[in-house]
Structure 1
Amino acid sequence: MKERSSGRMRAPRSFLAVATAGIMALALTACGGTTKDSANSGGGAGAASTASANPNAPLKEGIKLAFLPKQINNPYLTLVDKAGISAAGEYKGEAKEVGPSDASASSQVSYINTLVQQRQDAILISANDPNAVCGPLQQARQRGIKVVSYDSDTAPECRDVFINQAASEEIGRSQVKLLAELMDGEGEFAVLSATANATNQNTWIKYMQEELKKPEYAKMKLVKIAYGDDDDQKSFQQTQGLLQAYPNLKGIIAPTTVGIAAAARYISGSQYKGKVVVTGLGTPNQMRQFVKDGTVEKFQLWNPNDLGYLASYAAAALVSGQITGKQGEVLKAGRLGERTVGANGEIVLGPPFTFEASNIDQFDF
Structure 2
Amino acid sequence: MAATSRGGRAIALAVLAAFSLAVTGCAAQEEPATPQPGASGAAATIKEGLKIAFLPKQVNNPYFDASDNKGGKVAVAEFKGVYSQTGPSEASPSAQVSYINTLSQQGADAIVVSANDKDALCGALNEARQAGAKVVTYDSDTNPACRDAFINQASAEGIAASQIKLISEAVGPDGGEIAILSATANATNQNAWIEMMKTELAKPENAKLKLVATVYGDDDDQKSFQEAQGLLARYPDLKGIVSPTTVGVAAAARYLSGSEYKGKVRLTGLGTPNQMRAYVKDGTVGSFALWNPSELGYLAAYTGAALASGLITGKEGGTFTAGRLGEYTVGEDGVVLLGDPFVFTAENIDDFDF
Aligned CA-pair RMSD: 1.7
SS across alignment from 2:45 = coil
Give, in angstroms, the shift of residue 55 of structure 1.
Answer: 5.3
Query: In structure 1, how many angstroms separate the alpha carbons of the residues matched to 2:12 and 2:237?
Result: 41
- For 1:18, the equivalent position in structure 2 comes to 11
Q: What are the within-5 Å matches in structure 2 for residues 201-240 of structure 1? A: 201-240=190-229
User: Is residue 24–residue 302 contact of structure 1 (8 Å, CA) maintained in 2?
Assistant: no
Give, in angstroms, the shift of residue 85 of structure 1.
Answer: 1.3
User: Is residue 112–residue 137 contact of structure 2 (8 Å, CA) maintained in 1?
Assistant: yes
- For 1:81, the equivalent position in structure 2 comes to 68
Change in 2 beyond 3 A, CA 1:274/1:24: farther
Query: In structure 2, how many angstroms separate the alpha carbons of the residues matched to 1:60 and 1:270?
Result: 54
TM-score, scaled to structure 1: 0.89
Change in 2 beyond 3 A, CA 1:85/1:44: closer
Whether 1:333 aligns to 2:322 is: yes
Count residues in correspondence: 334
Whether 1:115 aligns to 2:103 is: yes
User: Is residue 24–residue 136 contact of structure 2 (8 Å, CA) maintained in 1?
Assistant: no
% identical aligned pairs: 62
Give, in angstroms, the shift of residue 105 of structure 1.
Answer: 2.3
Change in 2 beyond 3 A, CA 1:55/1:262: farther
Give, in angstroms, the shift of residue 44 of structure 1.
Answer: 11
- For 2:46, the equivalent position in structure 1 comes to 59
Give, in angstroms, the shift of residue 18 of structure 1.
Answer: 2.2
Query: In structure 1, how many angstroms separate the alpha carbons of the residues matched to 2:320 and 2:231?
Result: 44
Q: What are the within-5 Å matches in structure 2 for residues 28-39 of structure 1? A: none
Give, in angstroms, the shift of residue 12 of structure 1.
Answer: 2.3
User: Is residue 162–residue 347 contact of structure 1 (8 Å, CA) maintained in 2?
Assistant: yes
- For 1:277, the equivalent position in structure 2 comes to 266
- For 1:175, the equivalent position in structure 2 comes to 163
Query: In structure 2, how many angstroms separate the alpha carbons of the residues matched to 1:195 and 1:44?
Result: 27
User: Is residue 140–residue 188 contact of structure 2 (8 Å, CA) maintained in 1?
Assistant: yes
Query: In structure 1, how many angstroms separate the alpha carbons of the residues matched to 2:316 and 2:53?
Result: 25
Q: What are the within-5 Å matches in structure 2 for residues 311-330 of structure 1? A: 311-330=300-319
Among residues 142, 151, 170, which one is paired with 2:139 in the alignment?
151
Amino acid at match of 1:192: L
SS across alignment from 1:107 = helix
Please list every run of 5 or more consecutive structure 1 residues that lacks an aligned counterpart in the other structure: 1-8, 28-42, 46-52
- For 1:91, the equivalent position in structure 2 comes to 79
User: Is residue 25–residue 351 contact of structure 1 (8 Å, CA) maintained in 2?
Assistant: no
- For 1:347, the equivalent position in structure 2 comes to 336
Amino acid at match of 1:12: T
Query: In structure 2, how many angstroms separate the alpha carbons of the residues matched to 1:77 and 1:128?
Result: 13
Query: In structure 2, how many angstroms separate the alpha carbons of the residues matched to 1:295 and 1:266?
Result: 10
Could you report, residue by residue, the CA deviation over 1:152-199 in whole angstroms, capped at 9, with x for unpaired residues? 001100000000111111101211111111111410000000000000
Query: In structure 2, how many angstroms separate the alpha carbons of the residues matched to 1:228 and 1:26?
Result: 32
